[in-house]
Amino acid sequence: MKKKIFIACDTTNIKKVKNIIKHTKSSKFDINYKFGLEFFYSKNGRSFISKMASLPIFLDLKLNDIPNTAVSALNAIKDLKNIRYLTIHANGGLEMISNIKKVAKKNNKKLKILAVTVLTSFNEKSIKQIGYSKKIKEIVIKQSKLAEKAKLDGIVCSAHEIKFIKKISKKMEIITPGIRMIKEKFDDQKRVVTPLEAFKKGATGIVVGRSVTKGEIKKNFAKLLNHLS
């Protein structure tokens, strides 16, 4: 099975998105395109996604609300049949994530639901600042167990927590953000690894954004593929 690479299209500029897609093709990897809140909320973002029938799309909305509202949000995008992945927050609790999984299965059998655990922008210090008393590892383990119980398709987590998730489930996909090339700036990320390290640790897919999309896309993408070869 080909390793998955999710290219983060974090922009409101459709012309730039088309350029990203144009210069990130590979026969060796399963290339997908991740659209988050920035693009989806933009004036023409949703419309663009709806028209990309042949594009493998990861819709990173991180749904997190009371169960009824979260399910209503899911139903509001059920016309987007080309979505391959959708993220929800594990913080939403078992009832929310279970209900979303059930409704998603009815709306679109091909749609995979991924639970986002602790964001890669957090470290031990910042996670305590928002009220958590447990360490990140413990939180991710607990959230992953909820995802497994709800029969979700996968987890989004830092590569640093992959080994713990592997012990919980052998079936769930593990998608890893917080990816940076060697000697690259971390920016707002904290728990970071290189693409190769993520796959070696057991990730089934990685999310790559600025490392590819900032600057010369074609050159950056070639560098990424060379790094993974």
What per-residue confidence (pLDDT) applies to 185?
Answer: 61
Catalytic-residue membership of 18: no
Domain ranges of the chain: 4-228
What per-residue confidence (pLDDT) applies to 53?
Answer: 82
The dihedral built from the CA positions of residue 58, 60, 65 and 70, taken in this order, carries a sign that is negative
What per-residue confidence (pLDDT) applies to 183?
Answer: 64
pLDDT reading at 22 higher than 80: yes
Q: Is 155 helix (H, G, I), strand (E, B) or coil?
A: strand
What per-residue confidence (pLDDT) applies to 193?
Answer: 87
Distances (CA, A) of 11 to 38, 69, 124, 225: 6, 27, 29, 23
**What span, in angstroms and rounded, lies between the C-alpha atoms of 11 and 45?**
10
Annotated active-site residue in 4, 34, 62, 190: 62
pLDDT reading at 186 higher than 60: no
State the chain's mean pLDDT as an integer: 93
The answer to whether 193 and 160 have CB atoms below 8 angstroms apart is yes
What per-residue confidence (pLDDT) applies to 47?
Answer: 95
User: Per-residue confidence at 2, pLDDT binned at 50, 70, 90?
Assistant: confident
CATH superfamily of the domain spanning 4-228: Aldolase class I (3.20.20.70)
What per-residue confidence (pLDDT) applies to 216?
Answer: 95
